[in-house]
């Protein structure tokens, strides 16, 4: 059984700015508020990260609260974001009854070889996540034939794919947004949706203007990633700085050129990266970036090459939509490096300022806070830079 209605309380406590950044793709959940002094049946609705976006209307909460208290299970999702263009934002949701929580869990338990209910619930969440990730991968791989099948069976819709593209952009996943728009444009032709096709073309022009039609190399295997030194240098470049400090650059160049001629791909990429750094130290930034990218093409599995390239691009005023493509690969390969999350925050803020997109500010703050959490105690300089960005120092 499904019920559609609008959430209450959406104009209070700063919820309007939060709702403005949501889409039907965002996950939400509801939770009983037993300590609410105004309504003993109160049920709050929250984003996946736990931020309040409103309340179940009182007349619905009055009937729903006892069922929730008895263990009945419901699913809630966003159907439409209302308002905008000078009007207050609202959220229309769909509430679907799944059934008794105990019966529901028992069915899942039977499916998962009679495991415990806790394990079964975890398994269900993993199954749902796996299905969603598979659908996303179809979109990113431009598997139009499979997507059409899913649309015909009611699993996907053009609106959901558009929401996914918007979601990727708001999260700073610009490469994924670009690929989703390419897929959506092709589908708009298949379904004769001219308005959607124009939407895709308008947004794709921006990406094309920054070279997104030229694919970047993809990592091919798991790789041991380099950890930044406490002084903000990298072990991979220690021989470059030693040569500069000891005036032995000629010896270093001979060694690097030998690696380029006879070395393995790993040695060649390391040599290209070192040559790039030498050019960077001479302030030949364009040549440095070219060599860093060459190193990436030889060995696309090393996060340092991707992240460092993005960092140097940022320092040399390359548009952040270009730098972010390289940074995203670094984050995919080494998600525990606080430097890359800090740089992501900087790039998101830069894009927000240049393109006047306010939605990216919240994601920039999230990235900066995550960088702060990942900082080692000895990374004093990086920690200070993050705190300054957050306005806390």
Q: What is the pLDDT of residues 368-384, one digit of tens each?
A: 998 998 989 999 999 99
The whole-number pLDDT of residue 126 equals: 55
Number of residues assigned to the chain: 393
SS3 221: coil
The whole-number pLDDT of residue 358 equals: 72
Please spell the DSSP secondary structure of 146-200, one letter per residue: HHHHHHHTTS--HHHHHHHHHHHHHTT-HHHHHHHHHHHHHHHHHTT-HHHHHHH
The pTM assigned to this predicted structure is 0.69
* Structural tokens at position 182: 């390419």
Per-residue pLDDT of the chain (393 residues; tens, 9 = 90+): 568 888 988 888 888 888 888 887 788 899 888 777 778 889 999 988 788 899 998 888 888 888 887 777 888 888 888 877 667 788 988 888 775 444 444 554 555 455 554 555 555 555 566 677 888 899 999 999 999 999 998 888 999 899 889 888 888 889 999 999 999 999 999 999 999 999 999 999 999 999 999 999 988 877 778 888 888 889 999 999 999 999 999 999 999 999 999 989 999 999 999 999 999 999 999 999 999 999 999 999 999 999 999 999 999 999 999 999 999 999 988 988 999 999 999 999 999 888 777 778 888 888 899 899 898 999 999 999 999 998 887
User: How many whole angstroms separate alpha carbon 182 and alpha carbon 197?
Assistant: 10
Count other C-beta atoms under 10 Å from residue 2's C-beta: 9
Q: Which domains does the chain have, with CATH numbers?
A: 2-100 (3.30.70.2330), 130-209 (no CATH), 235-389 (1.25.40.10)
In the 8-state DSSP scheme, what is residue 231? T
The whole-number pLDDT of residue 110 equals: 53
């Amino acid at each position: 059984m499904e019920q559609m209605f609008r959430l209450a309380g959406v104009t209070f406590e700063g919820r309007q700015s939060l709702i403005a950044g949501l889409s039907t793709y965002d996950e939400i959940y509801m939770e009983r508020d037993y300590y609410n002094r105004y309504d003993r049946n109160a049920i709050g609705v929250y984003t996946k990260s736990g931020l309040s976006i409103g309340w179940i209307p009182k007349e619905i909460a009055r009937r729903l609260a006892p069922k929730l208290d008895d263990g009945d299970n419901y699913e809630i999702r966003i159907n439409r974001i209302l308002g905008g263009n000078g009007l207050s934002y609202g959220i229309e949701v769909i509430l679907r009854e799944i059934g008794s929580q105990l019966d529901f869990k028992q069915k899942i338990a039977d499916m998962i070889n009679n495991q415990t209910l806790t394990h079964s619930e975890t398994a269900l969440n993993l199954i749902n996540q796996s299905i969603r990730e598979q659908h996303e991968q179809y979109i990113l791989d431009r598997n139009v034939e499979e997507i059409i099948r899913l649309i015909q069976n009611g699993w996907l819709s053009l609106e959901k794919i558009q929401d996914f593209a918007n979601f990727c952009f708001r999260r700073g996943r610009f490469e994924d947004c670009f690929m989703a728009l390419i897929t959506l444009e092709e589908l708009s032709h298949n379904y004769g949706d001219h308005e959607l096709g124009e939407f895709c073309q308008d947004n794709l022009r921006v990406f094309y203007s920054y070279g997104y039609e030229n694919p970047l190399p993809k990592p091919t295997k798991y790789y041991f990633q380099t950890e930044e030194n406490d002084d903000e240098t990298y072990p991979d470049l220690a021989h470059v700085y030693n040569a500069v400090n000891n005036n032995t650059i000629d010896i270093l160049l001979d060694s690097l050129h030998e690696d380029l001629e006879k070395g393995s791909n790993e040695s060649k990429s390391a040599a290209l990266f070192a040559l790039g750094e030498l050019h960077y130290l001479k302030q030949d930034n364009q040549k440095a970036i070219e060599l860093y990218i060459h190193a990436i093409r030889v060995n696309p599995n090393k996060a340092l090459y991707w992240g460092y390239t993005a960092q140097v691009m940022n320092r040399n005023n390359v548009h952040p939509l270009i730098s972010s493509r390289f940074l995203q690969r670094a984050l995919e390969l080494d998600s525990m490096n606080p430097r890359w999350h800090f740089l992501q925050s900087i790039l998101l803020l830069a894009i927000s300022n240049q393109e006047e997109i306010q939605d990216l500010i919240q994601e920039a703050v999230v990235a900066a806070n995550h960088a702060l959490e990942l900082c080692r105690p000895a990374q004093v300089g990086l920690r200070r830079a993050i705190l300054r960005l957050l306005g806390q120092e």
